[in-house]
Structure 1
């Protein structure tokens, strides 16, 4: 009986670990999608990885912004053209599994621009909503 329980426990943990690693690749795809959209100069496509809700939270150098549209408007104000946007690169430092529905991501961002490079760090809270992984909270500095 003990042996059966150990085998079942090991199997459940193996499946959970496999599911986690599969979801981590989805998280990486989200950041790859953001990078590609940004580097094309397409902020509307970049924002498709964010939760389209008034409850979206973005924390940046100017404080807290609530809502998808407000976040998009701030991006458009801060990065009005391709020159201001430059080329984005993300470096993931850690992807942390919090639950089957939530991941925490910590990383670095870099913008290479002719008008001066920028860089900083970010923390993302990514949640599965209606079967889709979306950024629900972004703290970028």
Structure 2
């Protein structure tokens, strides 16, 4: 029994060390947080096109929402425009970052909370983002957002 426990501990340590996440640098963290600041600023201006500048402009972009996956930058923008047709619907966006980890040299995984304050009723929920360095810029390649009931 003890031998099995010791072997489990050794294998666990080997697994953790073998697949350890890279440490995110201060500069990378600042760039990622500024990306979300840019998103919130654009949203609060009512500017969805500027908001979408933070996303990967590719047909491979994935946005997962309550209606399932949306593929592609243009389709994601169109979906945002349908769901948030004007400033009243958009309201005021605020993000809270809950966790930020570097997966590999060029990829970051972020968990956060969003809060929309609106005259027509507030919305809130959580999101996960996969953010990747592409052509020298950090861009969102995958966004999964879920609203609270």
TM-score between the two structures when normalised by the length of structure 1: 0.86
CA distance in 2, matches of 1:108, 1:136: 18
- 1:87 is the counterpart of 2:92: yes
- 1:97 is the counterpart of 2:102: yes
| Cα deviation digits, residues 65-103 of structure 1 (max 9, x gap) | 000000000000000000000000000000011112000
TM-score between the two structures when normalised by the length of structure 2: 0.82
Query: By how many angstroms is 1:21 displaced?
Result: 2.1
Please show how residues 1-141 of structure 1 align to structure 2 within 5 Å.
17=23, 20-141=25-146
**Which runs of 5 or more structure 2 residues have no equivalent in the other structure?**
1-21
| Cα deviation digits, residues 16-52 of structure 1 (max 9, x gap) | 85x6221011100000000000000000000000000
**Which runs of 5 or more structure 1 residues have no equivalent in the other structure?**
1-15
Say how many residue pairs are matched.
125
CA distance in 2, matches of 1:123, 1:82: 24
**In 2, are the aligned partners of 1:104 and 1:126 still within 8 Å (CA)?**
yes
Q: Which residue of 1 aligns with 2:15?
A: none
**In 2, are the aligned partners of 1:20 and 1:97 still within 8 Å (CA)?**
no
